[in-house]
Structure 1
Amino acid sequence: MSEQFTQGRAPSSLRKFTSPEMATDQKKGRLTEAKTCKACDQCRNRKVRCIMDSQQRSRCIHCIKRNETCHFTQTKRKLRSKAPQTSRNHTTSRHHIPLVNSWAEKACIQPTLSSLFLDQMLENKGRSSILRDNFALLRASDHDVTSSSLAFFTERRINSLSHRLGNDRLRELVETIESVIRSRLLAEGPSSISLITFGKPSDTEDVSLENVRLYINTYFHQLHPIYPFLDRQKFEDKVFGPNLSETLASSCAFSALYHTILALGCRYHEGGAFDPGNGRAWKLFQVSLGLVSDILIPREALMSLQALVAMSIFAMTTCCLQIDEVLLMEAARMAQSLGYHRALSNGDQRYKDTCHRTFWVIYYMEKGMCFQNHKGSMIPDHDIGCPVPDVPESVFEGHNWFLSAISFGRILSLAYTSLFSVSAAIQPPESYYAAIQNIEARLERWRSALPEQYRPGMLSQSHKPHVVPYFSSSFHQPSFKMVVLQTKFSYYGLIIALARLEIYIGRQNQSPSQEKARRLLMDTARAVVEESKNIDIAAYTPTFILAILPLGALFILFDFVIHNPMHPETLNNLSLLDVAAGHFSLLEYKSGGFVPASLLTEFAHIARQYIKDYGRNQPQHQQQEEAEMQEREDEEKGAEPCGIGSSNVESTLAFEDSEQLAQTNNPSSINDVCLQDDIMEFWEPSNYLHYPVTADTTVHGSMPENMMAASFNIQSLFGFVVPEFGHDL
């Protein structure tokens, strides 16, 4: 009986394939289950029992008798989809307008990179490579999109905008900024920026015991809840113990940590400066810089790692843009060398928690920096196994902001790998869209879990009675304000990157989703400018919050104003450009002229003057647009349509927008693209935004031929200097 039962089964060589395997239907995006039939094709056609031969395990007895091929077919069947689980934490209020589409949570496709670009190069040695310039934050390319949230100008972009403006003011402004950057970036001619050195200072700054207590207490109130990597009790026991002098002399790591903590606290008491080499805080920090070699060369230890983390926090501001990457990358390397990314077996629980705290602080700092600098992370997520410890000092309003920062770092890591890496650049548009939906779904779940009052992604609706906006004075703890600002600006930076990528991918196929991406880009830029009123214009504010993201928002709004002069939202965008200009003027004033940010106020002047001139010449502009539209219709009837890079591409895209995007007035069309009333307000077809995407739009990749007019590195505008290694290389 047992033998007869065995003969009635599929051959052993095939039984290993009978276990269900999960697969994704690439065309329909559905999960399927693959199984091998237990009867061969011949027996199934004859509707007879398929009995395997005891000697030839690969063929049944019927196929052997008839000398036929015994083939077992694999079948696929669709799996039942589980009902979505809802949670009250994931519920989005209809009284607010989130900047991310909640419908993205319904995406069922889990995008994965089929293969790395490296694998393709190894298989095909003749395959051309993908060139990316990592020297600068911004570079012009026609085939790639950057993860950086900054906008920039290329030569073709300047020509296009100058043609619209009817003058060369924009070109002159860019060239003026470029001349400042060349003196800072390449050190050509006299430069007022001091090069940062890792030498020990000739004299040490004396700090009284009273100020030591003040600076340390300030640090733990202002920064420790954001970066909780220190055990305060153990640190203060050493600082205020009887053997401080001996400890500082014998431990280079503790001395570097001690002086950096003092420097961080000193910056909140008029000791900071925007430029390197100045201020009392810098003198304290220079002591730590002189000890870097002593920290890196010996065997790694927790104290050495904590010193690097503290120095990396100090280097997030304008005075240290020369070395911010160096310190944080070394910290990431050392943390993994110590094994803190995995669960520790040695030491008491308090020591383990401190080690794991330190690693997770490095994790979300490094993920954010790499994403903004368009570089791959040094920390592989698939090799992390350490737990996230409880951090009571990072809990505000009942929410764990430390865990929230780690979760956002994970989203940034996924976004870079699936959307902005070299291997992501070779995937088809369908995979891009699936990956974007996956990131948006994760991002919306993360955003919805935050306290509603401090949740990012809400447009300004302070005039509505049900919305209670927060103010700087409403924060009970000084560090909570920076926590909220970092959370919101990190969110906005990712949203800008996703929106620009989606616009770029769909540039050849204008659709309602393109309009949503354009509006999302504009709304996010406006939210950044509105939020700038809560930024402290001070030396201790991170550069990304102080200048980088507001500058990206300014450029985005400038583009929207120039390309949409008659749009109902243009006047609001002009007002926000003035707000951004005021922010940068105040930054130059507070920095004593070190940050030449007032140059950027000219963008607001150019945009406002253009709108005035456009209003005076509106009949002439209308005639020009009608002529261009007629020319396009003639081309459609006879000649081939113009290409994306042609001179009348803007009018062509505008016409296509009015034709195709008007479909959103149809309720069925709205259901198709999931334009929900609680996400976006209804606009008339004439109000759709025009934001052309051509080969010279915000992208990232190869080195441009003309550095003078092609692009510029925004980091250098705020003090980034690359030492000159020689011109003969």
Structure 2
Amino acid sequence: MKWVSERVGASDFAASASTLSLDVTRNLKMDRKISQQRVPDPDPATAWRYTQAYFEESLDKVFGVVHRPMFEARLQAHFQQENIEEDSAWYALRNTVYASGCKIVHTKEDRPNAFVEAQEKAWSYFENALSVHTDLIYMRTGLSAVQALLAMAFYTEGLGNPALEYMLVSNTLRLAQSKGLHRQPVETWNMREPEIQHRNWLFWAIYAYEKHIAYRSGRPSAIDDDDISSEIPTAVLAGSAINFDFFICVIKHAQIGSSIARELCSVKASKQTPDVIIQKAHEVERRLREWKDSIPPHLRPDLPFNQAYLPPGTHLYHIIYLHFAFYGSLIAIHSVFTYPWNVNGFTRNPTPAVREQINTSTQTVVDASRKIILATKYIDANGSWPTWLTFFYPLLGLINLFIYVLKFPNQPSAPADIALMDVVAGHFGFLEFASNSKIAFPFTGEITSLARATVKKARERVVGGPEQQMDPPAPMTLMAEPQLQQGGVESLYSMGEVRPNTSSSHNEMFNQPDNFSFLQFGGLDSMDIGLENWPSFLPSFSRVSSMAMNGLLGDEELDFIPMN
């Protein structure tokens, strides 16, 4: 926030970021205790309506967490029997399906407050499931308890829900590991092949989802990849809704994402030499691009998305997921080298290789951000769609593009980039409209306005010269942009065109008590953001912060300007 506020010459961003941070992090826990009142099952007709919606329209059905024929057979028996002892796992699973289906059905109703009412009604069923959470963890259970916990985690992904998925998927994983799902069954277990396939699919669904949540939240994964012997399945069980091609793509991407976290974003990784870090970044990017090239043609995440030839069982959502996964991973790889508050050079005297990597990574991050934003027009904002789709990735693209514009406000691409930022602001505006203002993030519009004002000021300085400057220049200013086209980064260094701004007007501005000072906001503590919650506000930011703490980054700012 200090870096951005210095760039824009005002404290507007600090206030906006504080508000966004609180809006995001306050949703990581429930605002009130679980109600002690349990709502009864819906009547059979409504229950079947919710069940049908879950299995036919929910976005997580492709992971086959709940096997439809088995669930429907048990639901039929449930309504035919009375006065039977309730099984906690079945109770939780049944009510989670009700909650998901209820939200899908009622959110689509064309009437005022449909979103809010659907949320409230669905939450009452989910509270039923949460009421037996302790039983699922500590009582004797079968695989149905694992299924119930995973289904509950998927449910909390829905827009507008408390973001409980990190804790729920962690509980799911520990329970699954306690039942040996991470190990391939040996012959002495005497399991039939369908049962082995079912166990393997369930484990890899947990694996992929847990790795995704770890990346998105900036928190460490609880899975040790070296301790897995469970084989990736090669066939789908009869009656399962699993989309084989998509699920396999997700699993393989999760494995690459795990390598990114381990090789580039861990504390151990931050203690390696710059050459080793660069080498590992190249290796994991190679794997990522090979994964993208291996995606089947009907799922290939290339813009514009082709919706005309999607086979049965494949949804546009699957392609959007793979698109976001690829470009989000590129950002995760290269943000290690690009964020200006971290990247002051890997050494005090950066080598040509380090300079080249910062330049390349900067361009990769901004290109990936643009691709993420361009895909937002395909999102049909719906209350049952997951947070990562409607919130996380659009915001990730927006903020990385915002940072790029502030770093290089005189780039010819700046007006187009601001237009893309407007696209994200419009997306969030529609979310606010569709949710009856229950979901509102004015931050997106505010930082777009800040970026626009910063570009305008920078261009006025270039055109008008020092005599006509209305505001002091940013700490690092591009003074002669056209020469970049001819000589690139090295020519800028040799000519001294990229340099720190040490003008007295700049120093005076930030020394005045009436102007912005990071200390005026009391640092992070005054924002009431706990250590548990902070990493969830843009994980790739928090992960790379360890780089500066281990002596890899020096003091000399290297604001390389990438070539177009």
Question: Residues 53-107 of structure 1: CA distance to partner in whole angstroms, max 9, x if unpaired?
Answer: xxxxxxxxxxxxxxxxxxxxxxxxxxxxxxxxxxxxxxxxxxxxxxxxxxxxxxx
Query: Deviations 1:437-477 (Å, cap 9, x if unpaired)?
Result: 12111111111011346433x4x5xxxxxxxx325576455
Counterpart-to-counterpart distance in 2, 1:534 and 1:238: 37
> What amino acid is aligned across from residue 123 of structure 2 in structure 1?
W
1:310 is displaced (CA, Å) by 0.6
Report whether the alignment pairs 1:448 with 2:293: yes
Q: Secondary structure at the match of 2:7?
A: helix
* Stretches (4+) displaced over 6 A: 272-277, 622-625, 652-660, 688-692, 709-712
In 1: Cα distance, 2:500 partner to 2:122 partner: 45
Larger Rg: 1
Structure-1 separation of matches of 2:406 and 2:343: 22
Distance 1:374 1:276 in 2: 32
Aligned partner of 1:299 in structure 2 is: 140
Is 2:208 the counterpart of 1:364?
A: yes
Judge conservation of contact 1:472–1:534 (CA < 8 Å) in 2: no
Gaps of 5+ in 1: 1-153, 187-192, 461-468, 630-646, 666-684, 693-703, 718-729
Q: How many residues align?
A: 490
Aligned equivalent of 2:266: 421
Structure 2 CA distance for partners of 1:236 and 1:185, relative to 1, 3 Å: closer
Per-residue deviation at 1:374? 2.4
Structure 1 stretch displaced more, 273-282 or 211-220: 273-282
The alignment partner of 2:52 has SS state of helix
Contact 1:500–1:517 (Cα < 8 Å) also in 2: yes
Give the conservation status (yes or no) of the 8 Å contact 1:196–1:322: no
Residue 289 of structure 1: CA displacement? 1.0
Aligned ranges for residues 108-507 of structure 1 at < 5 Å?
154-155=1-2, 157-163=3-9, 167-177=10-20, 184=26, 195-204=31-40, 206-222=41-57, 223=59, 225-241=61-77, 245-246=81-82, 249-271=85-107, 278-344=119-185, 345-389=189-233, 390-391=235-236, 400-452=245-297, 454-456=299-301, 458=302, 469-470=304-305, 475=310, 477=312, 480-503=315-338, 507=344
What CA deviation, in whole Å up to 9, does each residue of 1:187-228 have, x standing for no partner?
A: xxxxxx962534553432x42333333322222223455321
Counterpart CA distance in 1 for 2:468 and 2:273 is 37
Q: Deviations over 1:610-647 (max 9, x none)?
A: 3344444433457799xx99xxxxxxxxxxxxxxxxx8
Segments of structure 2 that go 5 or more residues without pairing to the other structure are 109-113, 502-521, 539-564
Matched residue, 2:488: 661
d(CA) in 2 for partners of 1:597 and 1:540? 18
Residue 195 of structure 1 aligns to a residue whose secondary structure is coil
Distance in 2 (alpha carbons) for counterparts of 1:499 and 1:320: 31
Q: What CA distance in whole angstroms lies between the structure 1 residues aligned with 2:53 and 2:89? A: 22
When residues 499 and 242 of structure 1 are mapped into structure 2, their CA distance, relative to the original with a 3 A threshold, is closer
- SS at structure 2 position matched to 1:357: helix
Q: 1:689 to 1:374 in 2, by over 3 A?
A: farther
Write the letter of the residue equivalent to 2:8: S
Query: 1:659: Cα distance to partner?
Result: 9.1
Separation in 2 of the partners of 1:356 and 1:329? 18
2:442 maps to amino acid: S
**C-alpha displacement at 1:657, in angstroms?**
7.3
Distance 2:413 2:70 in 1: 56
Given that 1:537 and 1:587 are in contact with CA atoms closer than 8 Å, whether structure 2 keeps it comes out as yes
Using the TM superposition, give the Cα deviation of residue 585 of structure 1 relative to its aligned residue in structure 2, in angstroms. 0.9
Letter in 2 for 1:210: A
Tell me the distance in 1 between the aligned counterparts of 2:37 and 2:18. 38
Change (3 A) 1:394 1:484: farther
Confirm or deny that 1:605 pairs with 2:480.
no
Paired residue secondary structure (1:511): helix
Deviation at 1:178, TM superposition (A): 5.9
Is 1:550 the counterpart of 2:394 in the alignment? yes
* Distance in 1 (alpha carbons) for counterparts of 2:480 and 2:131: 57
Indicate the SS of the match to 1:270. Answer: helix
- Quickly say closer, same or farther: Cα 1:200–1:353, change in 2 above 3 A: farther
- Paired with 2:412 and 2:465, the residues of 1 have a C-alpha distance of 17
Q: What is the CA–CA distance in structure 2 between the aligned matches of 1:300 and 1:653, rounded to whole Å?
A: 68
* Structure 2 counterpart of 1:573: 417
